[in-house]
């Protein structure tokens, strides 16, 4: 996204807020720094925290019965990360979330924020931004599985995240797309030949 558009969108979230409102929001926020490889949220934990990614890259994965890892989410700067199991179902997380780059998070308590927004409608643009961000992401992903073949899905991923693709190891991209690393490698080869 263009920087100007980004700034414009941010400002629009705060147009109805006073400096005091914004300050109060900030008191709820805790900054967390993660080193490359560090675990943010482990399996079995019920954490109703919601984190905004200021910079960096976080991956959530589960271990399948066959022992292989399946990448559920890949989120980078300007996106939200949280345990789906905990936030949506109030259950222990089945996924493990870890930073695959040095990462800076802004963490808040999900329930506290929701209560705050309930009581102060002036914040509600923030909630809508959050929900549409998450739903949009889930929806696009699901559509890709239904409408596209694995090869098309990879091309779609590249076009949607041209810069991300270079920051994420192929094996994570493969499991994010629901295929094996071997298969992704073959797809890359096929695509390279087609271009000629």
**Contact residues for a copy of itself, defined by CB under 8 A:** 62, 64, 70-72, 84, 88-89, 114, 118-119, 121, 124, 128, 131-132, 134-136, 138-139, 141-143, 145-147, 175-176, 178
Q: Name the segment binding DNA (CB under 7 A); options: 104-112, 113-121, 136-144, 149-157.
A: 149-157
CB nearer a copy of itself, residue 178 or residue 181? 178
Q: Does 134 bind DNA (CB under 7 A)?
A: no
Q: Which does 183 bind (CB under 5 to 8 A by kind): DNA, a copy of itself, none?
A: DNA
Q: Determine if 186 is a binding residue for DNA (CB under 7 A).
A: yes
* Binds 151: which of DNA, a copy of itself, none (CB < 5-8 Å by kind): DNA
Which residue lies nearer to a copy of itself by CB, 69 or 102?
69
Q: Among residues 133 and 183, whose Cβ is nearest to DNA?
A: 183
Three-state SS letters, the chain: CCHHHHHHHHHHHHCCCCHHHHHHHHHCCEEEEECCCCEEECCCCCCCEEEEEEECEEEEEEECCCCCEEEEEEEECCCEECCHHHHHHCCCCCCEEEECCCEEEEEEEHHHHHHHHHHCHHHHHHHHHHHHHHHHHHHHHHHHHHHCCHHHHHHHHHHHCCCHHHHCCHHHHHHHCCCCHHHHHHHHHHHHHHHC
The residues of the shown chain that bind DNA, judged by CB under 7 A, are 66, 149-151, 169-171, 178-190
């Amino acid at each position: 996204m263009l920087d100007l558009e980004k700034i414009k969108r941010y400002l629009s979230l705060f147009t109805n807020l006073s400096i005091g409102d914004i300050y109060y929001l900030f008191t709820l926020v805790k900054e967390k720094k993660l080193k490359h490889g560090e675990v943010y949220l482990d399996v079995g934990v019920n954490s109703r925290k919601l984190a905004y990614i200021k910079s960096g890259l976080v991956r959530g994965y589960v271990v399948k019965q066959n022992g292989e890892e399946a990448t559920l989410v890949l989120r980078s700067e300007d996106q939200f990360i949280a345990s789906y199991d905990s936030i949506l179902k109030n259950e222990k997380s089945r996924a493990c979330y870890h930073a695959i780059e040095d990462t800076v998070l802004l963490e808040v308590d999900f329930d506290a924020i929701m209560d705050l927004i309930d009581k102060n409608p002036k914040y509600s643009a923030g909630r809508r931004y959050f929900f549409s961000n998450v739903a949009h992401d889930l929806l696009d992903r699901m559509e890709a599985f239904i409408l596209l073949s694995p090869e098309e899905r990879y091309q779609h991923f590249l076009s949607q995240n041209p810069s991300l693709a270079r920051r994420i190891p192929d094996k994570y991209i493969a499991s994010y797309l629901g295929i094996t690393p071997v298969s992704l490698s073959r797809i890359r080869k096929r695509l390279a030949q087609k271009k000629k």
